[in-house]
Structure 1
Amino acid sequence: MTIGGHLEELYGLPVFPFTEGTGPATPPEPGSVAWRLAGGTYDDDTGWAEGFARFCAEVDTTRVRALVVGMWDDAYDSGPTDVIEALLAARDRLPALRSLFLGDIVFEECEISWIHQTDVTGLLAGFPALEEFGVRGGQGLVFPALRHDRLRKLVVETGGLPAEVVRGVAASELPALEHLDLWLGTSWYGADSEVTDLEPILSGARLPRLRHLALRNSEIQDEVAAAVASAPVVARLEVLDLSMGTLGDEGATALLGGQPLTHLKRLDLHHNYLSEPLRQRIRDTLEPAGVEVDLDEDDADRDEDEDGTVHRFVAVGE
């Protein structure tokens, strides 16, 4: 599976692309959409900074609530340092900004494993009122531990998430965080974290308001599931997402053998390598309690050797 479509919604708002020629009479109300800004694509050689400057000139940015950063100049060669600097330089002009996604780039523009990132935490420090933050691409991504009192949702999408980033997120003080979504990825593309790196997240000590936890797209999904089975944070969750990875019977058995999951509203295990008896056991255990269970396996790549060995793959790698 690849990422073939741009974001259509952010912060509950429809995404609206800001493009050349958009005049002040044609855009929607500034706060009614999530504005998408991109540059340096194959069919548009306008630089990102140039497009952002025009955006600031044409749109009342004091009312903008959500921004989507698409392709920047040479995203496959360098990180978005200029993008971050431009956003921080304009922060006084963006007092209403509450949601920001950095790297809404599809595979036709740049594969997820090729997207170069950088230290993105300056954006969180520079926008203390931000409630949602997302970033795509793990190459060069840096996320040292920080404190942010308003952030409610954090999403990190990668084909391979560096362990230092996992540790940085896990060590961060995020008292308002309700939704955490980490795509751990595969070692082929830089993933080198271990389950022990997730322990501060699984304890829930720094995340008192967490209700939605996604630890997905992982080649160590069985180990993650086994750790989640006894994780204190699970008792307060409404949604648990272990999808998109290499989950097999071993991990699912450990998950079912741990603490009860019947309090969940939703358990997402789509893209899995489970046997039918295990799938049925999950349904029989959770669905009568009202838990919505997603066990869709249709997009799981099943490479099977002549001896019956099945090679498992994460949903999004390259």
Structure 2
Amino acid sequence: MIRSHASSFAGLPVRPFTPGEPLPEDPSAVAWRLEVEDFEAAPEEFADLVATFRATVPAAAVRAVVVGEWGSAYERALPVELLVEAAAEWTGLRAVFLADLVSEECEISWLTLTDITALLTAYPALETLWVRGGNALRLSPVRHDRLRELRFESGGLPGAVVRAVGESSLPALERLVFWLGRTDYGADTGVDELAPVLAGAGLPALRHLGLCNSEIADVVARVVADAPVVARLAVLDLSMGVFTDNGLDALLAGQPLTHLRRLDLTHHFLSDEAQQRVVAALPGVDVDLSDAQEVEVYHGREYRFTAVGE
């Protein structure tokens, strides 16, 4: 469950754009938040807001944009074309966060996204892209020479998006995070979809990889164990998912992980013995085992859940 909006993004404080309100002394020193207050606002209201923003804030001062509620986000596709249309003006834009909505506005699995490929091609100097939601999200393989951080937050991420990232050429990408999610919220990432990412052919600079919030965390651990990309990582993040002793056994049976600076296993289902074993196996590695979870039992059946679903 997402409870709060981003207060900072790309190293800048987030400031909502309010028509008629005086601009800060330095409009480039903030990440501008674009949103309409009415969650059922008509499409033209958000379009008018973006138009007013373009007419008010000097184009050269737009460094980071956070898109909040655009009106009926639960059923109307995020209007990414409005950002694409501004590309010729916003030549200094370096960071975009799509769909920073909290659960009270729209549950993460209800957010209706769209094809975001055009955003990357329109902004060849973009360095950071965060995307929240997975419903109707699409991406085609691209080449982008400047992108350094790519993050997908979802209760159910389409496997085709994961594959497209792996098949892209992203020579500058250092941080890549996927919240894979659960099948009942649209997740369908499997071993085949992960393969291009884990091969890492198009990700030579990758140092931080997150395969998070997965109901198949043990399967993910098994394929990560022998993945070529792992050897170049400083941070491996398998947090937020259904990670059990079986997953740990597979992970530790693979390639050495002692080169890692950090292994994030937050929100896990490991036994006490397994927790002790992973710490002992990786001396010098910061192993985060916080937020241990308890198995829930209903009518004799065991249930384990990811950190974020609906």
Give secondary structure in 2 for the equivalent of 1:313: coil
Q: Does 1:303 align with 2:296?
A: yes
Q: Does 1:294 align with 2:288?
A: yes
Q: Does 1:216 align with 2:212?
A: yes
> What is the aligned partner in structure 1 of residue 81 from structure 2?
85
Give secondary structure in 2 for the equivalent of 1:57: helix
Structure 1: which 5+ residue stretches go unaligned?
A: none
Give secondary structure in 2 for the equivalent of 1:240: strand
Give secondary structure in 2 for the equivalent of 1:154: strand
Trace 1:1-318 onto structure 2 (pairs within 5 A): 2-24=1-23, 27-42=24-39, 47-81=45-79, 84-286=80-282, 288-289=283-284, 291-298=285-292, 300=293, 302-305=295-298, 307=300, 309-318=301-310
Amino acid at match of 2:96: L
| 1:246-295: CA deviation from partner (whole Å, max 9, x where unpaired) | 00000011111211111111111101110000001111222x32x11111
Q: How many residues end up aligned between the 2 structures?
A: 309
Amino acid at match of 1:23: P
Give secondary structure in 1 for the equivalent of 2:180: strand
Tell me, yes or no, if the aligned pair for 2:41 and 2:72 is still in contact at 8 Å.
no
Tell me, yes or no, if the aligned pair for 1:273 and 1:297 is still in contact at 8 Å.
no
Amino acid at match of 2:33: R
Find the aligned partners of 1:115 and 1:272 in 2 and give their Cα distance.
26
Percentage of identical aligned residues: 52
Amino acid at match of 2:111: I
Amino acid at match of 1:3: I
Structure 2: which 5+ residue stretches go unaligned?
A: none
Shift of 1:306: 5.7
Find the aligned partners of 1:41 and 1:249 in 2 and give their Cα distance.
46
RMSD, aligned CA: 1.7
Q: Note closer, same or farther for the CA distance 1:28–1:223 as it changes in structure 2 (3 Å cut).
A: farther
Tell me, yes or no, if the aligned pair for 1:23 and 1:58 is still in contact at 8 Å.
no
Shift of 1:226: 0.9
Shift of 1:40: 4.6
Find the aligned partners of 1:32 and 1:43 in 2 and give their Cα distance.
31
Tell me, yes or no, if the aligned pair for 2:163 and 2:193 is still in contact at 8 Å.
yes
Tell me, yes or no, if the aligned pair for 1:174 and 1:207 is still in contact at 8 Å.
yes
Find the aligned partners of 1:169 and 1:31 in 2 and give their Cα distance.
30
Deviates more, 1:111-120 or 1:89-98: 89-98
Q: Return the TM-score normalized by structure 1.
A: 0.93
Shift of 1:64: 1.6
